Amino acid sequence: MDADALVQVLLFISALGIYIHAVFLTISLGFPWIIMALMYKWWRTGDRDYYDATRTVTAVLGLNFALGAITGTLVEFGLVQAWPGSIFVIATFGFLPLTLELVAFVGEIIFLIMFIVTLGRTRPVTSTAIMAAYAIMAIFSGAVITTLNSWLNVPWGTANLAENLYPFLPQYGPSSVDVAALVRLKVELVRSSLASGHSSQIIQDPTFARRVGMTLRDPFVAFSSPYAMASILHNVSAAIIVGMSFGLVGYAYRFFKTGNEKYVKIIRSFLPLLLIFLVLQPTVFADSMGKMVAANQPTKFALMEAAQTTTFNPLVSFLAYGDAQHPVAGFDSFKAACESNQGRTIGDLFSHLVPDLDTEPLSSLALTDLCLTDLTKAEAWMSLVNTAYYTKLATGIVALLGLIALISTIFSTGILSKVTNRVLRPLSRKKVVLLLSLLVLLGSVSSAMLGWFVREGGRKPWTVYGLLYPTELVTPVSIDPFVLTLFTLTFVLMAIVGLYGIYIVATKRLRFIELLRKGAGIE
């Protein structure tokens, strides 16, 4: 299997792993808010229903955490196994984010276990504080991982290195790297690819490592990226919304099946929190994310807006640039920018950056050709990214409208409640609550999934935006399709069994009390 074929297969498996992991990580991030809301209500009212619900949600969170940890392991191992070239990134820009993630991971485990074993044995306010500590660690974990992913999207600290190759790109922060080292790495990757069909194996060679040498001067640079900060707020809040929506549908389904109003009471306890996140997400976090994409990833922004040519769209321009008159840069302007390198070769550029470097066989490659070729590859993603982006916006709106309607059904919101009740009158209250909850879940899940696709697909053809391609990072191992299929099926099967386990934990009653009574010597 050549590198291109491997990339096709492994991109799919990596994406599958990330999406499955996302199911569990959203619950890990969303359920603490539900638990804290339930604990608060229990503390204020002393109502046992809230405590019982807390226990059930906690059991689900416990099992879910194990599943999240294991699928996270797949993503982490998958990164180094399937994309060993990424070890270079882990050993440089990703070193501190990943090391800090260890602290977050341990913190999550400590506070979750502490919460589980002390629940009902300490005051509600203490339990709530422990759960808040868990939530902080879970958010911290999400933040540092997002920081690493953000560096792949916007390689902060490489200054104008990518801009030299692609003149339409901006400068990425201050220069925290030894440009010569990165250029040497790139040349060696290309050279190896031409010689053997694969690139990433070169980092196995200690001699090569010494030849590249000291690359990163500031190991903290990934944290100073404004793109990372916007991504953290955007991604973490999206995950919280999806996680809380799973809980919402769970209780709406219970209400639908039993008609017991206590489930509506439970939903009511955390619905306002969900509304706050769902309102903040598009108005603050997504807005800030969009501005960052427009400023730092022009090709991705053009793909999102299907801007083959430069256009004027006052609304988009105002939202993206804060200026309604600002043109939305299209691929025509990028291609024109490529032409500015007319007559120059990679050899010219690299010999300027690293005077003594042997750049063969790259030296004669025209910079304009490279730039135009990559733009063509990026442009091929246009219809997909554009459709995904606008569908994401639509599904996000559906989630928000669904939640507002649900709130006006469950709470008394004056005229809004009257309108909602009138529109949904033909349906029973049980059906309305379930239907609207499903709208919130499906809307938020679709929005999150499509949003992630836009984030990852939009930076193609690069893995490290403007610098490295997937073929340069993919494993040189020609993986046996049978082994790969078996491995993937094992993973998917365990995810399905895990989800079924969550269902059992959340719904089934105990059956073997009598046997255990005997075993415990109680009978």
Partner 1 sequence: MNSSGRGPGLNNLTNSELLGFSILGLSVVVHIIIVNITIGSGWISAMARFLAWIRGAPELEIMSRRVFKILIIHELFSGVWGTVITVILAGFFPTLTAIATDIIFYPILIALAAIFIRIPSIALFWYTWGKVKPSAHCILGFVMAFSGFGVPLGFRFIFAQITYPNAIELAMQGFRELSRVAVFFNPVYLPLIMHTWFGAMSIGGFIVASFFAIKGNVNVKFAWIGLWHGVLFLILQAFMGPWYLVTLGAKAPVLFDNILGAAGSTFNLLPVFATKMAIVASLGFLSVKVWRAVGRGVGQVPRYTLALGPIAVLVALIGEFMNDGGRYPFMVLTGQNGIRATEFMNVYLEMPIYTVVAIIAALVVFIGLFMATAYYALNRRFLADLPDGFAERT
Q: Which positions from 189 through 228 interact with partner 1, judged by CB under 8 A?
A: 200-201, 203-207, 209-210, 212-217, 219-220
Query: Per rule CB under 8 A, is residue 517 in the interface with partner 1?
Result: yes
- For residue 175, give the H/E element and its range: strand 172-175
3-state helix, strand, coil in the chain (%, to 5): 75, 5, 20
Tokens matching residue 102: 């260890």
Tokens matching residue 407: 């709130």
x-or-dash string of contact with partner 1, 116-145, rule CB under 8 A: -xx--x------------------------
Q: Contact region for partner 1 (CB under 8 A) — 39-47, 377-385, 432-440, 474-482?
A: 474-482
> Strand pairing partners for 366?
345
Query: Per rule CB under 8 A, is residue 490 in the interface with partner 1?
Result: yes
C-beta of 26 vs 281, nearer to partner 1: 26
ω into 361 cis (within 30 of 0): yes
Q: Which of 113, 365, 372, 398 binds partner 1 (CB under 8 A)?
A: 113
C-beta of 422 vs 511, nearer to partner 1: 511
| Alpha helices in 281-381, H assignment, sequence order | 286-296, 298-304, 314-321, 331-339, 346-353, 367-379
Under 8 Å CB-to-CB from 393, ≥6 apart: which residues? 447
Min dist. Cβ of residue 255 to partner 1 (A):
21
- What distance in Å separates the CA atoms of residue 313 and residue 402, rounded to the nearest whole number? 29
Tokens matching residue 328: 């939305």
Min dist. Cβ of residue 208 to partner 1 (A):
8
C-beta of 69 vs 394, nearer to partner 1: 69
- What distance in Å separates the CA atoms of residue 96 and residue 87, rounded to the nearest whole number? 13
How many residues bind partner 1, per CB under 8 A? Answer: 84
C-beta of 103 vs 194, nearer to partner 1: 103
Q: Which of 343, 412, 415, 483 binds partner 1 (CB under 8 A)?
A: 483
Min dist. Cβ of residue 214 to partner 1 (A):
7
Query: Per rule CB under 8 A, is residue 179 in the interface with partner 1?
Result: no
Q: Which of 9, 15, 16, 109 binds partner 1 (CB under 8 A)?
A: 109
Q: Which of 194, 279, 336, 504 binds partner 1 (CB under 8 A)?
A: 504
The tally of CA atoms less than 13 A away on the side-chain side of residue 3 is 23
What is the secondary structure of 210-230 as a DSSP string? HHH---BS-TTGGGG-HHHHH
Report the site for partner 1 in 40-99 (rule: CB under 8 A).
55, 59, 62-63, 66-67, 69-70, 73-74, 76-77, 80-81, 84, 87-88, 90-92, 95-96, 98-99
Q: Residue 439: which of 492, 411, 403 has the closest Cα?
A: 403
Min dist. Cβ of residue 514 to partner 1 (A):
9
Q: Which of 315, 415, 426, 512 binds partner 1 (CB under 8 A)?
A: 512
Q: Which of 2, 4, 106, 360 binds partner 1 (CB under 8 A)?
A: 106
C-beta of 259 vs 519, nearer to partner 1: 519
Burial 405-417 (b: 16+ CB within 10 A, else e): bbbbbbeeeeeeb
